[in-house]
Amino acid sequence: MVRSLEGKHAKYFEAILQLRDTSDEVKAWVDKTIKEQKIVVPRIEEAKKTKNGWDYYLADNNQGRQLGSQLQKKFGGHYHVTATLHTAIDSKEKYRVTILFREAPFRKNDIVDYQGEEYTVKMMIKDIFLQNNKTGKKIHLKYRVMDQIKKIN
């Protein structure tokens, strides 16, 4: 159901939540959360340039940021926010926000390979925490390097 903010046109949006390389579970969670939190979403599009991607156009950028943060906390993954100046009326600047969420291909307690060594994923919060299975040494990594971590089946 397409809803709009009072006083705004039906296609008005302030934020785009981009889901990339995410599971069906993540998309279902986003759809459910949008409904539960009554977030105004003028449109949803399947991403054209990538497989397994969705763009949610949100009427409120604060709700978009919160949704992205909740996604990162719940599922772990790369979460990145950018803002671009959209308009400036009467010296009031209006920004549009893009929130990118890319799900990690592994979960807590998975066995992974990182730089040729075997680790166990201990935590996935703002960073990824790994423990070496041979030495017991713990390391933490930023999500921007999660493509270097391979899940071992």
Question: Total structural domains in the chain?
Answer: 2
E strands along the chain, which residues? 15-20, 43-46, 53-58, 77-89, 92-103, 111-114, 117-124, 128-132, 138-141, 149-151
Whether pTM > 0.75 for this model: the answer is: yes
Residue at 8 is within a domain = no
CATH number for the domain harbouring residue 30: 3.30.70
Same-domain pairing of 62 and 92:
yes
Residue at 10 is within a domain = no
Residue at 92 is within a domain = yes
Please, which pLDDT band fits residue 45 given cuts at 50, 70 and 90? very high
Residue at 23 is within a domain = yes
CA–CA distance, 41 with 32 (Å, rounded to integer): 13
Q: Kind and range of the H or E element at 6?
A: none
pLDDT digits (tens, 9 = 90+) for 72-94: 888 888 889 998 887 767 777 77
Residue at 3 is within a domain = no
Residue at 4 is within a domain = no
Same-domain pairing of 78 and 20:
yes
Residue 32's SS3 state is: helix
Residue at 66 is within a domain = yes
Closest CA to 29 of 71, 57, 60: 71
Q: 22: domain range? A: 15-103
Tokens of 100: 């990118």
CA–CA distance, 31 with 120 (Å, rounded to integer): 31
Residue 152 half-sphere exposure toward CB, CA atoms < 13 A? 14
Same-domain pairing of 21 and 92:
yes
Residue at 93 is within a domain = yes
Does the pLDDT of residue 152 top 80, yes or no? Answer: yes
pLDDT digits (tens, 9 = 90+) for 96-148: 899 999 999 999 999 999 999 999 999 998 899 999 999 999 999 999 899 99
